[in-house]
Structure 1
Amino acid sequence: MSTVRGTQFSHIPPESSGLSSLLKETATEDNTVIITMVDREWAKPASLLDLFLESFRIGERTKHLLNHLIVVALDNQALRYCRRTHPRCYLHTSSGQKIGSVNPDGLIAGWNKKALVKEILDLGYNMIFTEADVIWLRNPLMHCHPHSSISVACGFSSSDQQHVTAENTGGFFYAKSNEITIDMFKILNVERVVYPSTGNQSFCDIVKREDVIRGLNMQVTYLDDDKFVRFCQPNRQNQSQIATIHASCYDDTKSKVQYLKLLLQDRKM
């Protein structure tokens, strides 16, 4: 990925100081961090978090990326377990509700996640957001377009962008810290007040909106769904090229753990 200079801000609110320090020690040379989110259901022994971290350890050219990963805990129990398994954990104290353990609602489910993404971009950091029910088989960063403000896995090609749902998202996006992406999240924050029902839009829902994309002149890259796939995606081709696999097609956490565990076991053989 090309080096990208993040937007600089001279005034950092006090509540951001802990996050700012963690971002500084975690970021790559081009100010990029990897973020995932878990709650108590996703962060416990033999959980999705364990499988997620294991995929980094055994994937192709992914182990070093653990140095640039921050696991965001949405409750204290998740934070305690995270600290047992990963050195870079952060409690998102502004989150009033935990992430939906039974059926996560897309890439960014709810306003608390959107607020955290905006905060990270405001601090001048580019970010990879990945759901914790995604396993990384190969380094996906090389597929993120360096000239796009957004690179996102939505389970379709650039010529077929209709009917995006949580089930056909790839659980992965890259956002560059610049005026365009920050303005986009400012718009979404206004909508929080005017249109509260839009809080559960996935990131794929958002980038499909022509009013947002055209209004901001935003360049979006839709990542290849042959490389960013769903576990239940039929007739997966070129498995040697797959970067990530998302368990979005399973409704309950137990099934996600069961099938992702089997996939990782096959991977080790």
Structure 2
Amino acid sequence: MGRPPRTDLAQSSVTFLRRFSGNSPLRPSRASALRRVAAVLLLAAAVALPCAVLYRAAVDATAPVYIPRARRPLLQWDPPPPPPVEVSAEDGDADPFPTDDLDSEDLRLELVLQEASMDNKTVILTTLNAAWASPGSVIDLFIDSFHRGVGTSSLLRHLVIVAFDWKAYKRCVKIHPYCFALTTEDVDFSEEKRFQTTGYLEMMWKRLDFLRLVLEKGYSFVFSDADIMWFRNPFPFFYSEGDFQIACDHYVGNAMDLRNVANGGFNYVKSNDQSIEFYKFWYSSRFRYPGYHDQDVFNFIKHDPYTADIGLTIKFLSTSYFGGICEPSRDLNKVCTMHANCCIGLQSKIHDLRIMMEDWRNYMSMPPSLKSFGALSWRVPQNCSLSLLSP
């Protein structure tokens, strides 16, 4: 029989003792001696057994313990993303963001800018009210142009839609991941704002002040009206040295010429001291020129000596690349954006924007040889008749 396991040592000692006690056939002297030996062995076992248990526990405590994968504690983790905003018909027109909670609004803006920002802290911004937000309206055409443009679909990842009212915000969160509700107390921006009306002017100046805030947060931006179709990625066509670059209703052929007639619906602005100071000056100039919108006031103050003192580098963007109904981009091989400017009335804009999109789809379906030949041109303006703008 082999040696018994260590854990059975005490039991073996007891058995040994029983065998050599009581009824032992040995002589009394030998039996007594063997009982003493058995007693010593029993005492040794009683001492050794607890020591063995403690040693085993100490060894086990230092050994690696396997934890099933599903139960292993996570040493590093990312907090889950916030749940998507859910809106329903029962929400009505109620605004979930109190207009007096400025800290909350500032935090929401910072979060959405961080999410949408490019690596160099640049975002793309557009504004939206309920009149332009309904299905099939301007905002749908705007987003569709990114999907159909050349190198533009990925730019949607950096687009923030700024909603002027709750209806526009509800529509935004259904169609786009980055939306911001710009609250304005006691002002309703949801209806269509006809050009140069009081509501239109208030909305334009509210927009300008918001853009100043984005610059102060350290974010550069491309601002685009939603009635601008994006057909090509514009970033390769911006000037590397310009602090403030703006599209034109009329371009005279020189990017530095102040005679260019600027259009505030599309601009690329770098966040720096010069641009922030200029936006403050621009906004404050509304009181010097009451009754004018931001675009007109810009065309006034671009000649102001203070603009030169600020040190802002202004570049005007050629209509060859950044065109519109006022002055179309003639070559579809070059066009980046087309604006439904010089156009009054929402339905007129929608009609001509749809024609633009049809023209672009036709161009994209052409073979390369016909594209390079320039066999296709815009069919607009149609409902956006320039004659309506004549005095």
Total equivalences in the alignment: 253
CA distance in 1, matches of 2:222, 2:236: 12
With normalisation by structure 1, the TM-score equals: 0.84
Indicate the SS of the match to 1:110.
Answer: helix
Q: Where does residue 74 of structure 2 map in the other structure?
A: none
CA distance in 1, matches of 2:264, 2:361: 23
Indicate the SS of the match to 2:327.
Answer: coil
Indicate the SS of the match to 2:133.
Answer: coil
Indicate the SS of the match to 1:180.
Answer: helix
Higher alpha-carbon Rg = 2
Aligned CA distance change for structure 1 residues 233 and 32 (closer, same or farther; 3 Å): same
Aligned-pair identity (%): 28
Q: Where does residue 260 of structure 1 map in the other structure?
A: 353
Selected match of 1:73 from 163, 182, 197:
163
Q: Where does residue 176 of structure 2 map in the other structure?
A: 86
Q: CA RMSD in A?
A: 2.7
CA distance in 1, matches of 2:336, 2:148: 13
Q: Offset of 1:162 from its aligned partner? A: 3.4
Deviations 1:188-225 (A, max 9, x none): 34445x53616612175266233242121111111111
Q: Where does residue 141 of structure 1 map in the other structure?
A: 235
Selected match of 1:251 from 332, 339, 344:
344
* Matching of residues 190-209 of structure 1 within 5 Å: 190-192=284-286, 194-195=287-288, 197=290, 200-202=293-295, 204-205=298-299, 208-209=302-303
Q: Where does residue 115 of structure 1 map in the other structure?
A: 209
Contact 1:51/1:260 (<8 A) preserved: yes
Paired AA for residue 110 in structure 1: M
Aligned CA distance change for structure 1 residues 62 and 75 (closer, same or farther; 3 Å): same
Aligned CA distance change for structure 1 residues 254 and 187 (closer, same or farther; 3 Å): same
Paired AA for residue 101 in structure 1: K
* Matching of residues 5-16 of structure 1 within 5 Å: 15-16=105-106
Selected match of 1:237 from 309, 321, 330:
330
Paired AA for residue 345 in structure 2: D
Deviations 1:16-38 (A, max 9, x none): 11000000010001100000011
Paired AA for residue 108 in structure 2: G
Aligned CA distance change for structure 1 residues 108 and 63 (closer, same or farther; 3 Å): farther
Contact 1:56/1:62 (<8 A) preserved: yes
Aligned CA distance change for structure 1 residues 132 and 233 (closer, same or farther; 3 Å): same
Deviations 1:124-180 (A, max 9, x none): 00000001110011111112222211011113133654373xxx7373101100000
Paired AA for residue 266 in structure 2: F
Deviations 1:12-58 (A, max 9, x none): 95531100000001000110000001111111111000000000011
Higher percent of residues as helix: 2
Contact 1:109/1:199 (<8 A) preserved: no
Selected match of 2:195 from 91, 103, 117:
103
Paired AA for residue 342 in structure 2: C
CA distance in 2, matches of 1:66, 1:207: 33
Q: Where does the alignment leave 5 or more consecutive residues of structure 1 unmatched?
A: 1-11
1:23 has 2:113 as partner: yes
Q: Offset of 1:232 from its aligned partner? A: 4.8
Q: Where does residue 8 of structure 1 map in the other structure?
A: none
CA distance in 1, matches of 2:196, 2:285: 21
| Higher mean C-alpha deviation, range 198-207 or range 243-252 | 198-207
